[in-house]
Amino acid sequence: MSTRSELVPRFSSAQRLVHWAVGLSFTLLLLTGLAFSYPALFWLTHLLGGGTSAMVLHPWVGVVFSAAMGATFVMWVRDMRLGAADRRWLRAIQAYARHDTGHVPPAGKYNGGQKLFFWAQTLLALVFLVSGLALWFPGAIAAVVPAASTLLASMRLLHYLATLAGGLLLTLHVYLGLFAFPGTARGMVDGKVSRAWAALHHPAWRPDTDPVTTTRDAERR
Amino acid sequence: MSTLSIRRTSAATSPAPGIRSTPEYAKLIDIGSCIGCKGCEVACKEWNDLKVEPTANFGSYQSHQDLSAHTWVLMRFDEVEMSGRLQWLITKDACLHCEEPGCLYACPAPGAIVQYENGIVDINQDRCIGCQYCVTGCPFDIPRFDRDTKKVYKCNMCVDRVDAGLEPACVKTCPTHAISWGSKEDMLALADQKVDLLRRRGFENPVTYNPAGIGGTHMMYVVPHGDRLADYRLPATPTASPAPLTGLGALKRIGAYVLGFGVLSSLVHYLTIGPQTAEDVPADEH
């Protein structure tokens, strides 16, 4: 019988690298994007060297974000299929938020909320990519589309709405991982979580037989 | 031009500083008096020291195919058929200096686009970040992006000349007085006279082009065939509403509340329900 403070691997090093590529690029994109949307936040463009520089670099950071999101999708999609158990978990989400553990159906490696988060961010990444490409090359759009102004204005609206949704998701993600459930963030730093954490949040997960983390990280444990 | 004269400024977080009460100017283009000499194009290039762009004959009397960052005014020549006869339509294509400027509303860079008390809309390229939102926001497709400087340019109504009490260069050079310059009031009165004259000479639908959807413009046209605005490449009902698509106006305010609500509710959850440390939860409660 293992002790509750013993650490078990949860994320592979590749998963952690990709997670931080997404996280850091999206944070930069969100802050500079808000700078372009809100005059009072225009000073945030200095994160990327000032107005013009931020305007030039924002889409390139977007390229990094899109690539990292592509890798995220490939790495995680098999674990993210929503099933009946996830729907039961989602119905009990208020109990989870209240820490009323007794009324939360046992989640596997990922709970219904995390799976929903994955699909929401995948959809948002697609919206960002399509609308972002259009806004990056307005001249090319104008050359082929007759009503380019209307199209580009709609793309800006879409890009903005996706920013709002993405900003909310990031807030939720950071709050849950960093503040609400201590011990979670560590999974994305050295890749490990405690058995107590796993038993509380993902009781149906079997870390000792998890194919993602047991292959290479097991012997290092 | 002095900051005392700035009436509107892009991406502003405080009211514009203008306190001067100066007359509003306007340029009036009498299309019927234009002989298509392109003297205004040359005068514009000369006064503003804009580089010459090589061009080629593409089957039109027109000098360049399109406006550019270095060509702020372009005489467009269009051949159309009217009542079985060929008509040669000429339009002086340049910034109309809208009363409600769609470019300024769309611009996210503080102070990059300003409107002066006299009605001139000007781009401050040193503050322009090259996003080209103004290009999308303009109902007349006027601003042009320069790849080398990564800034946007357009006609500034020779703001430096006007500031010194002179008329814009194109006005000064026009040999047929097809371009007039004066207070907006005077130019509207002059436009009425010209429209009357055209009507007396047999034109059925002469109009003054000063579209209400953007609060009027500070470059107006007297159009001989007012029922054929599209043939002059003039939109019949241009708009530049700050919301919802160009400036995203009120939506952005709601968006700010939504994001703020997200952050606040996280804080409230932390302070009321608080964090849950797995090690503190007894094993049998899992």
pLDDT digits (tens, 9 = 90+) for A112-122: 999 999 999 99
Q: Give residue-wise pLDDT tens across range A103-112.
A: 999 999 999 9
In this prediction, what percent of chain B has a pLDDT beyond 90?
78
- pLDDT at B2 (0 to 100): 74
- pLDDT at B211 (0 to 100): 95
**Average predicted confidence (pLDDT) for chain B:** 91
Pairwise pLDDT comparison (B243 vs A212), residue with the higher score: A212
* Phi, psi of B235, deg, nearest 5: -65, 135
Q: Give residue-wise pLDDT tens across range B230-285.
A: 999 999 988 875 544 445 677 888 899 999 999 999 999 999 998 998 888 876 65
How far CA A72 is from CA of A59, A119, B74, in Å, comes to 19, 11, 50
- pLDDT at A2 (0 to 100): 62
Contact A9, A195 (CB under 8 A): no
Q: Give residue-wise pLDDT tens across range B62-76.
A: 999 999 999 999 999
**Average predicted confidence (pLDDT) for chain A:** 91
Half-sphere exposure of residue B79: CA atoms within 13 angstroms, side-chain side: 7
CA distance A205 to chain B (A): 13
| Beta-carbon separation of B145 and A139 below 8 A | yes
Going by DSSP bridges, is the β-strand pair B25-30/B179-183 parallel, antiparallel, or unpaired? antiparallel
CB atoms within 10 A of CB A165: 16
- pLDDT at A153 (0 to 100): 85
- Alpha-carbon distance of B42 to B48, in angstroms, equals 10
Say yes or no: B268 contacts chain A, CB-CB below 8 A: no
Extract the tokens encoding B44. 């514009």
Q: Residue B198 belongs to what H/E stretch?
A: helix B184-200
Q: Give residue-wise pLDDT tens across range B97-113.
A: 999 999 999 899 999 99
CA distance B241 to chain A (A): 12
- pLDDT at A213 (0 to 100): 63
Q: Give residue-wise pLDDT tens across range A6-54.
A: 999 999 999 999 999 999 999 999 999 999 999 999 999 999 999 999 9
Residue numbers in A near B283 (CB within 8 A): 4, 196, 199
Residue numbers in B near A175 (CB within 8 A): 266, 269-270
Q: Give residue-wise pLDDT tens across range B183-224.
A: 999 999 999 999 999 999 999 999 999 999 999 999 999 999
- pLDDT at B285 (0 to 100): 55
- pLDDT at B205 (0 to 100): 95
The radius of gyration of chain A from alpha carbons, rounded to an integer in Å, stands at 20
* Phi, psi of B182, deg, nearest 5: 175, -165
Say yes or no: B108 contacts chain A, CB-CB below 8 A: yes
Contact B46, B158 (CB under 8 A): no
- pLDDT at B244 (0 to 100): 40
